[in-house]
Amino acid sequence: MGGSRFWSAEEYDRQAQRLYEAGDYDGALETLRRGAALYPDATELLVSIGYTYLAREEYVWAGRAFGQVLELEPDHEDALVGLGESRLKLGERARGFQCFERVLDLGFGADLDLMLSIGRALFREGLWEQSERFFRRAVAADEESGDAAADLAYAMHRQGDGVEARMWLERCLVLDPDNHDARALLANLFYEGGEPEEALEHLDRIPLEDLWDPVSVWRLVELVRAYRQMTDGARELDPYLTRLDQLFVDPTPEERILLEVEMEAAGLQAPSAGARDQLDLFGGDAEPAPGAQRMDWTGIVRAMCESSANPGQSIEEFMRETARRVRDMTGIEIPDDDPEAFLKASARAGVLHIDR
C-alpha cells in the first residue's frame, strides 16, 4: 500500500468503500483491517467491517464487528441496524427486532436511509408486513423519494395488495421515471389485471438490457407480436429472443418446464426436446412424442413431478414447492392442494398454457 500507513481512518474507509462498490470484498476487508489496527477506536471502520462481512455472508463475524462498535458507542444507529440484520440472518428475529426498535427509540424514525435499510433487511427475510412499517416511515420522511415509494410498493405486492402496490409504483415512476424494476412490476400488474396495452406501453419503455425477469420479456414478446402483428420469424423479434437466451441460464428442471411452456404460449420455439414432450401433457401445439397420450390432471402433475429435480417427492410436496416458486416469481398465490386447481390457476397466472 506504499505510504498508506500515514492515511487517516477516513482515508482507509474511503478506499475500502471504492473496493466494496467494485465487488472486491476481500480487498475492502483487508484495507479496513489495516486501518482498524492503526485506529482501533474508529467506529466508522468497524461499521464498514461489519457491512463487508454481511456482504460476504459471514453473519457471525458481522455481528461481532457491530458489537464492538456498540461497546464504544451504545447508541450508534448504523451499528444497531447492522447488528439487527446480522441477527435476522442468524435466525434471531426477536433480537433483531429489538435492535430496530432501539433505532426508533433513539429518534431516527424520520431518517430516510435508516428506515430504508431496516425495511430492506426485513424484506430480504420475507418479513413483508414488518418491512411495510419501515417503508411507510421512509415515505413519510421524504415524500419525494422514488426509492421509498418503490420499496413500499414491493412490500404491498408481496402481501397481495395489488391496488396499493400499483398506486405506489405509479408514484415512484412520477418521481423516478428511470426506475426500470418498478416499471416492470407495474407492467406485470397491468398484464395480470387484463390491461395488456398498458402493460406493453410500460415494458416498451424499459431498455432490454435492464429487463432481468424472463417472464416480463416473454410477455413483452407476446404483446409485441399481438399488437404489432408480427410473424414468428420477424427479425424485429430477434433482440427480444436474444435477451431471453441471456436470461435462460441453468434453471432447475421444474423451472424449465414452467418457463418453456410459457414460451410456447407466447409463440416461441421451445429450446429443448424435453420441454416439447412436456407440452404434449398439456395438449399443446407441438407434435406428440411417439406413444404419448393425454393424462388427467393428477397424471399431468405427476409427470411434472417426475421430471423435477426431486422426482421422489410426492405430488403434494411438488405442488407446494412449485406454488411457492410461482408466488416468488409473480406474487400470485396458486392453490397447492388440488391438481386441477393447481394447473388451472398456474395457467391464469401466465406460467402455464393449457389448450384443451
pLDDT tens digits along 63-93 = 999 999 999 999 999 999 999 999 999 999 9
Neighbours of 236 (CB within 10 A): 11
Number of domains in the chain: 2
What is residue 300's predicted lDDT score, i.e. its pLDDT?
80
* CA pair distance 121, 118, nearest whole angstrom: 5
Averaged pLDDT, 89-110 = 96
pLDDT at 271 over 70: no
**Containing structural domain, residue 72:** 1-108
Is there a domain that residue 24 lies in? yes
Domain's final residue, options 79, 108, 137: 108
- pLDDT score of 287 more than 60: no
Domain final residue, candidates 108, 124, 141: 108
Q: What is the DSSP string of 46-85?
A: HHHHHHHHHHTT-HHHHHHHHHHHHHH-TT-HHHHHHHHH
Q: Which of 108, 129, 164 is the last residue of a domain?
A: 108
Q: Is residue 114 part of a domain?
A: no
> What pLDDT is recorded for position 216?
87
Q: How far apart are CA 335 and CA 344, in angstroms?
A: 9
Angle among Cα 331, 333, 339 to the nearest 5 degrees reads 140
Tens digits of residue pLDDT in 201-258: 999 999 999 998 888 888 898 898 888 887 767 888 888 888 888 886 655 555 555 5
Predicted local distance difference test score (pLDDT) of residue 309: 63
Angle at 279 between CA 187 and CA 160, to 5 degrees: 30
Record the cell numbers describing residue 260, joined without a space. 418453456
What are φ and ψ of residue 268, in 5° steps? -95, 155
What number is the average pLDDT over the span 257-261? 54
pLDDT of residue 213: 83
End-to-end CA distance of the chain: 69
Would residue 296 count as lying in a domain? yes
